[in-house]
Structure 1
Amino acid sequence: MTPEQNDLLCLVEGSAPMGALMREHWLPACMIEEVAEPDCTPVRVRLLGEDMVVFRDSKGRVGALDEKCPHRRASLAFGRNEECGLRCLYHGWKFDVDGNAVDMSSEPVDAKLRTTMKTRAYPVEEAGGFVWVWMGDPEKVTPFDAPNWASAPADKISIVKMHGACNWAQVLEGSIDSAHSSSLHSSNMPAATDVAGSTATETAWLRPSADKAPRIEVQKTNFGFRYVAIRKPIVDAETTDYIRMTLFVAPFTVHIPSNDQYHLSQMLVPIDDVNTMFYWIAWHPEKGIGQDAWRKFCGAEVGKDVEPVTYLKVRNAQNNYLQDRDAMQAGDFTGIYGIPAQDMAMWESMGPIADRGDDRLGSSDKAIFTFRTQMYRAAQAVSRGEAAIGTTEPHIPQGKLMSFEGIVEKGADWRLLNVSAEEREITLRDEKEPSEQEGVVA
């Protein structure tokens, strides 16, 4: 990729086409738990280079406002959240969840400004443990399409949140890279002969394959793509395959293969050009894993592994992610605790925005190639005034999209695994796979 192509793929701030594409989708602003109680502390949020503040008012309604007070641009994050509004500390101007000025104590009671003053308020939805905001044209708000985990009860949805000090695209490429799990996460995902699929314990996910070189196949869809990593199982390798199917739901969601206890989804949300908020959701309609146990497993406990409020990592580049070389000598592959921190060490080591011009992709990178090509062209389309990827018909509701993991007979059509009849009809119409001769230049 040329520097210009790389920028089109990665940059999201201001008038960047990729940012315009993102604004055609609902974006997660924060977790509901961060604004759980009426009149709670407001939460600073930065998305696509824009700063906002999220709060829950006295009646339980959630609002998302421009962080800067329209009066003199002081931050509303310091404001008093009281009596159904957020009051700026500087001069006492107060705004409700719709952005209306409901009090302007520094202005005369008959001032005309009192009747016209508003600040920007973003449309808001609550679902699946998140507060979602619409950052696009306020006159063209699309219906909210809840993700698949929103179908689970609230107590069966557990969320890890962690700041990533690099661009969103290299984080997302890590999430759709099945091959790296056999190396980077090999201590957390060891091979085992006595399991038929990914099997969760308190400390690891056992898997029925020791194959480190999966065969990758990709199927492009109108929501993004699904791809499969096909590995040799330890048992019955002559007649069966171990299948791990992942879904990329444009522009920032990835559904990772489940284990026997919970499903797994990630959102890799651009804070700005060089920062990303990493969300990892473990969920299940009946089983699942508790919030505390999930964060402990991931090394993402708030106040221990990540800072409160900011979700900055305790294990970070400045301290080499607290890598333990003695543990490596004793058998731990990375010496870094927790799957997210292991990933962060790799992603952030590429630099704030990875230079893809020097990459040497191999056969295991087919999903990476597809992502770069697909999203580059999607950004080009938006720059031409065309619809954003994932917003056109026929539309498959996000709640119907699921990954798959398990041992199947050799030759089984992986595209039909764990797919609804509605989705099957739509996605099997175009069976063309991306060609490595396509390149990324349209």
Structure 2
Amino acid sequence: MGELMRQHWMPACMIEEVAERDGTPLRVRLLGEDMVIFRDTEGRVGALDEKCPHRRASLAFGRNEECGLRCLYHGWKFDVDGNAVDMSSEPVDAKLRSTMKTKAYPVREAGGFVWVWMGDPDQVAPFDAPNWATAPDRKISIVKMHGSCNWAQVLEGSIDSAHSSSLHSSNMPTATGVSGSTATDTAWLRPSADKAPRLEVQKTPFGFRYVAIRKPIVNEDTTDYIRMTLFVAPFTVHIPSNDQYHLSQMLVPIDDENTMFYWIAWHPTKGISQDAWRKFCGAEIGKDVEPITFRKIRTLENNYLQDREAMKAGDFTGIYGIPTQDMAMWESMGKIADRGDDRLGSSDKAIFAFRTQMYRAAQAVARGEPALGAGTGIPHAKLMSFEGIVPKGTDWRLLNVSEEEMAIGADQKSRTDLEEIVS
């Protein structure tokens, strides 16, 4: 799975974390590799192996100055490309000065994130920006939160439409007079009270899309309430929008037992401010999550500060914030959940599809085949979910599907292949 991941560009951090030129270097761990991210004097972003190649001291403590990162131990200094530009402890004529390099990862900036390439440095894939990068920077808001468990059980929460009707019912209440998910300052109102959606799955070249079909409050005999979600391999999920902003998540492996959770709210013209988004999610830096590490204040050890009195008064979970409600479920499964003990139901079709597809994708990579979703031609910028009330009989597979997607093979054969798997 690590080889599969390394055929995709990985989000290392938010741009805001390394916005300052010559600012504090940022320690980052991705796929079990430790690196340091910094912005140099000229505004270029570098991503280097955290350990200095000299004696393996951490460059995260280094001096970021004059277009390079200088190790505190002996003063060796490296630029954003990993070249040694000064080695103050070595003679001026030392041959080592002209040959010394440290590992540097290719870097891109887009959509509020710093992205790094961790695969073969001689086969760097073209960078395809995600759909939210089409919005202006000021219309992209990001929640970041550390999860103390494996990335796959976090991602499975993002592709599980059924749980939102229970776990998040206080934040996503049923409401009359709305035709779709409607955002207020404190909740997303829904036009359905149906807690047992009917799920259908469609395989695609980027992963799969699936739909949760519910009965609406009004006109249930003639209409359906549709919530479509896209899984974009290997770690991105586009979940149904509301009337103010679109929603995407990235569930990024730090290592086998830790995940960085990103939740992006974005829109080309409307949207929600960064401060309001983090407040709504209970993910304000310094209040709900720690600076730098983004570890939660509400944890498994303190029962996520669950308020039983609030539960008696009507709050379903007693846990503040949608992400923390999810974290309570994911982390309580253990660092790596034993899926042999799962008892899946009909509402778990997307979960089964994900496990089956990614298992087969890992096998394919082991055989030397390209990673799922890593090929060219996938219109990442145009991939969109869908949410709303539609007439019964509407083919949900054609909702929000671009011409480019149709051209790359979202055909009947691919649908049948996966429908046979998940039936």
TM-score by length of 1: 0.94
Q: Which residue of 2 aligns with 1:400?
A: 382
Shift of 1:438: 7.2
Distance 1:172 1:438 in 2: 18
Distance 1:54 1:177 in 2: 33
Give the secondary structure class of the aligned counterpart of 2:344: coil
Give yes or no for contact 2:244–2:272 (8 Å, CA) kept in 1. Answer: yes
Alpha-carbon distance in structure 2 between the residues aligned to 1:370 and 1:194: 35
Instruction: Tell me by how many angstroms 1:428 deviates.
Output: 2.5
Picking from 71, 75, 87, the partner of 1:92 is 75
1:314-364 CA deviation, whole Å, 9 max, x = no partner?
A: 001010000000000000000000000000000000000010001000000
Mapping 1:48-87, distance limit 5 Å: 48-87=31-70
Match of 2:134 in 1: 151
Matches within 5 A, 1:112-123: 112-123=95-106
Match of residue 416 from structure 2: 432
1:164-183 alpha-carbon deviations (Å, 9 max, x no partner): 00000000000000000000
1:294 — aligned with what?
Answer: 277
Identify the match of residue 234 of structure 2 among 246, 251, 254. Answer: 251
Structure 1 segment 21-420 matched on structure 2, within 5 A: 21-392=4-375, 395-420=377-402
Contact 1:416 1:424 (C-alpha < 8 Å) held by counterparts: no
- 2:262 & 2:390 partners in 1: Cα distance? 30
Residues 181 and 189 of structure 1 are in contact (CA less than 8 Å); yes or no, is this contact kept in structure 2?
yes
What SS does the aligned partner of 2:416 have?
Answer: coil
What CA distance in whole angstroms lies between the structure 2 residues aligned with 1:317 and 1:74? 33
Task: Give the letter aligned to residue 92 of structure 1.
Answer: G
| Unmatched runs of 5 consecutive residues or more in structure 1 | 1-17
Contact 2:379–2:405 (8 Å) recurs in 1: no
Query: Does the 8 Å CA contact 1:161/1:300 hold for their aligned counterparts?
Result: yes
Distance in 1 (alpha carbons) for counterparts of 2:292 and 2:28? 10
Structure 2 residue identity aligned to 1:269: V
The aligned counterpart of 1:14 is none
The DSSP-based 3-state class of the residue aligned with 2:301 is helix
The equivalent of 2:405 in structure 1 is 423
User: Distance between the aligned counterparts of 2:354 and 2:373, measured in 1?
Assistant: 14
1:312 counterpart letter in structure 2: R
Cα deviations by residue, 1:138-180 (Å, 9 ceiling, x for unpaired): 0000000000000000000000000000000000000000000
1:365-391 per-position Cα deviation (integer Å, ceiling 9, x unaligned): 000000000000000111111110012
Question: How many percent identity over aligned positions?
Answer: 83
1:80-118 residue CA offsets vs partner (Å, 9 max, x unmatched): 000000000000000000000000000011110000000
Query: Cα distance 1:288–1:436, how it changes in 2: closer, same or farther (>3 A)?
Result: same
- Aligned mates of 1:405, 1:269 — CA distance in 2: 25
Contact preservation (8 Å) 2:49, 2:103: yes
Any conservation in 2 of the 1:47–1:271 contact (CA below 8 Å)?
A: yes
